[in-house]
Chains A and B, each alone.
Chain A
Amino acid sequence: MKTTISILAVLTGLISFGFAPNSESITVKGSDTMVILAQRWAENYMSKHPEVTIQVTGGGSGTGISALINGTTDICDASRPMKQSEREKLKQRFNTLGVEIKSARDGLAVYVQESNPVKELTLQQLKEIYTGKITNWKQVGGNDVKIILYSRENNSGTYVYFKDNVLGGEDYAASAQNMPGTAAVVNAVSKDKNGIGYGGAAYGKGIRFVKIKRDADSPAYEPTKESIMSGNYPISRFLYMYTRSKPTGALKEYIDWILSSEGQAIVSTVGYFPVK
């Protein structure tokens, strides 16, 4: 009995040792697509709440979700929804389901250089280009030159979203060059007259958007506020924030502020679209 009591006392001590209060520091990690937006949110919020420190880093949606599961971030930014397998890992480690917060909307833009004569593509053509079935611009009404594919790295939510929703789950062509961020894709396409890339509409500066059609008979749309908000633009998505548990304290106040009119106004200044 003495042994039992001693052991229980040790266990209780260990538990008490680990129970520390939350600080006013918030870490945000994840989507590169969202990193500028997340930084703007953080800067604005910290200027009004100097007692709160917010650290924002990118790395990709997959990296952010791993950090949420490992307990190394408070908020995970993700440009795709969490997968079931990722939810299972969170459940096993923290016994929580994760809280999903839709924080903005985005149209996934397809870019070419200004000089490229191709103005529009169907979803099917886009799929065939990125899976390597269409390899020459001539096949989609352009010049007789090879198509150079620019893509993202596989820890990117944009990569996963594009693969799942445009490629129908098929693999990217082996010739696709994986760039470390959407800005890198835009930069590469702007310097390559035969290039094509995809990414957040917010990054679409210095290049031209290709209009996208659901099929050959549908109208073509650019990723504008109207076409994305109306659901007409075929490749639009939500941008998410995830927390392990229902947010409380400073974390809750920050997320409430992001969803307020003030926080959503920042969404528009960065080039994305508010959820409310």
Chain B
Amino acid sequence: MKHFFALFAFFSTALFAQDSISVATKEDVENIKGAFEGLNESYLETKTTVDALKKIKISGYVQAQYQITDGIAGTVFNGGAAPAPGGFSGGAFPNDVGSRFSVRRGRIKFNYDNDLTQYVMQFDVTQGGLAIKDMYASIKEPYLKLATFTGGIFDRPFGFEISYSSSNRETPERSRLYQTIFPGERELGAKIELAPQSGILSMFNAKVGVFNGNNNNNNENDNNKDIIGRVGFQLPFNEENLEIDGGASFYSGKVTSGSRAIWKIDNGTKTWKHDSTAANNGSSFDRSYVGVDAQLYYDLPVLGGFSLRGEYITGTQPGTAASSSYYVYAKGSGTPLYSRKFSGYYVNYVQNIGLTEQIVVKYDHYTPNTDITSSNIGLGNLTTTGDIAYTTLGVGAVHHFDGNVKLTLYYEMISNEKVNSATTNAALLPFKEDVKDNVFTVRMQYKF
């Protein structure tokens, strides 16, 4: 009987204890469940925030460089004042300066990418100050994802070299041709881009835009709008490790003259002649180009891939007396407009060697005035330094330390055409010979 009571007492206690444990466990589970749900809610809130933040992409690069030139601006050369070297190699060297350190580009880019919509803002910060490079919004149509609309400040849709980023480019600068006719590369405007996503049509793309046509980010100051477009193709031959890309581009625009004096070459006498009709002041004149570009990529066994890229552009460029660069209209400026027919091209060869090295050779030629030959320049026909043609042969090597850092060594041998030896024009005297303006650049780039 004693045993029975003892056993009863034991089991009762055990059962009671088990019951208490069961109640405590249930409470614990409920507490943990509550805490888990709280954490899950907090996680979902955090995730929403993080997902939104992940759409913001920040990238940038800095290009710090040292340059040496063999010409010194301001010194006497061939009886005239030596021109400033480096004008197309990152900016003209000041008088009496033969070497310099500079930050060529210091870019920071913010991109909010929401798949079908994109907002981009890019600044350039250098010793020269702060400049806006890109500022645009784009929207992709959501159904076929075929068309993208962009508005703001962005690259002009012409040729290949404009859209090839300075951070990826193997040479320090774009060709003289591009720097002359598309300074700053960008413009204020709107464009539509068509890029089929699949099928045979995905090999083709087209883009066309309407722009202020007032150079880079300048405010509009006339009622002319310029139209720029390109049709491109990409032909991959994967079995052969070969791809051929290319395109044809056009620029159709008008520039308003701030002067009644409109200068053109008289082809009979090979002399600049001007038309001074009063109505010319405030009238519009052609700015039109056509161009073709091609790029070939091929993978050389063992050595690495190479690319051969080239472009040819010709057209009519309104400039000033001393320069074939962009004529910027300003009402009442009185700056005469010089209309030149120009042509230019470049050929660029890049050979990868292994994982880290690249060698590059680039040849570019720019004739600002195709109506004039070198022997015509300086013969009392009002020709200027703005009519002189140039060729540049550049050779260089690029070493990639890793995915972020690269070192570029690049030497540009720049040759001007020699003007008529009989010229007495003081500005043209140095150009009787090839002026000293070769430039050697050592550049370190960090990109993230």
Give me the interface of A with B, judged by CB distance under 8 Å: 3-4, 7-8, 10-11, 14-15, 18-20, 69-72, 91-97, 99-100, 154, 169, 171, 174-175, 177-178, 244-246, 248
Contacts and interface: CB of A to CB of B under 8 A. Distances in A.
Contacts of A94: 304-305, 352
Contacts of B242: 97
Contacts of B355: 71
Contacts of B255: none
Interface in B47-97: 47-48, 51, 54, 70
A275 B236 CA distance: 24
Nearest to B404: A70
- Please name the 3 residue pairs, one residue from A and one from B, whose CB atoms are nearest each other, closest first: A95-B305, A70-B403, A18-B357
A95 B54 contact: no
Contact of A10 (B47, B165, B298, B409): B409
Interface string B361-376: 0000000000000000
Given A18-B357, A70-B402, A97 B241 contact: yes
B40 to A, nearest CB: 9
The main secondary structure of chain A at its interface with chain B is mixed
A92 B348 CA distance: 13
Contacts of A14: 357, 397, 399, 409
B399 A248 contact: no
B409 A174 contact: no
A95 B115 CA distance: 27
A92 B115 CA distance: 23
Given A71-B400, A95-B350, A97-B243, A15 B304 contact: no
A72 B241 contact: no
A14 B407 CA distance: 10
B297 A19 contact: no
Contact of A96 (B47, B304, B357): B304
29 contacts: A3-B438, A3-B440, A7-B411, A8-B411, A11-B396, A14-B397, A18-B354, A18-B399, A70-B402, A71-B356, A71-B403, A91-B297, A92-B165, A92-B168, A93-B168, A95-B304, A96-B241, A96-B297, A97-B241, A97-B243, A97-B297, A174-B44, A174-B47, A174-B48, A178-B47, A245-B241, A245-B301, A245-B305, A246-B301
B238 interface: yes
Nearest to A21: B354
A62 to B, nearest CB: 13
Contacts of A11: 359, 395-397, 409, 411
A95 B51 contact: no
Contacts, number: 103
A19 B354 contact: yes
Interface string B434-448: 000010100000000
B413 interface: yes
Contacts of A246: 241, 299, 301
Of B241, B355, B400, most buried by chain A (CB within 10 Å of CB) is B355
A11 B411 CA distance: 9
Contacts of B241: 96-97, 99, 245-246
A6 B359 CA distance: 17
B306 interface: yes
A241 to B, nearest CB: 15
A15 B359 contact: yes
Interface of B: 43-44, 47-48, 51, 54, 70, 115, 145, 164-165, 168, 236, 238, 241-243, 297-299, 301-302, 304-307, 350-357, 359, 395-397, 399-400, 402-403, 409, 411, 413, 438, 440
A145 to B, nearest CB: 14
Nearest to A13: B397
Contacts of B396: 11
A183 B301 CA distance: 39
Contacts of B395: 8, 11
Given A92-B168, A246-B299, A7 B353 contact: no
Contacts of B400: 71
A210 B261 CA distance: 80
Nearest to B245: A91
B354 A20 contact: yes
A95 B307 contact: yes
Nearest to A90: B305
Given A7-B440, A174-B51, A72 B403 contact: yes
A60 to B, nearest CB: 14
A175 B238 contact: no
Nearest to A148: B40
Contact of B411 (A4, A69, A100): A4
A71 B168 CA distance: 15
Contacts of B411: 4, 7-8, 11
Given A15-B397, A97-B238, 13 more contacts: A4-B438, A11-B409, A14-B397, A15-B357, A71-B356, A71-B403, A91-B243, A95-B305, A99-B238, A154-B54, A174-B48, A245-B241, A248-B301
A95 B297 contact: yes
Contacts of B306: 95
B44 A175 contact: yes
A232 to B, nearest CB: 23
Contacts of A18: 353-354, 356-357, 399
Contacts of B354: 18-20
Contacts of B243: 91, 97
Given A71-B355, A154-B54, A174-B44, A96 B299 contact: yes
A68 to B, nearest CB: 11
Of A69, A71, A171, A175, most buried by chain B (CB within 10 Å of CB) is A71
Given A96-B241, A100-B238, A246-B241, A169 B145 contact: yes
Given A8-B411, A71-B400, A245 B304 contact: yes
Of A96, A154, A178, most buried by chain B (CB within 10 Å of CB) is A96
A8 B410 CA distance: 9
A251 to B, nearest CB: 11
Nearest to B411: A7
Given A70-B403, A96-B241, A154-B54, A15 B48 contact: no
Nearest to A92: B168
A79 to B, nearest CB: 20
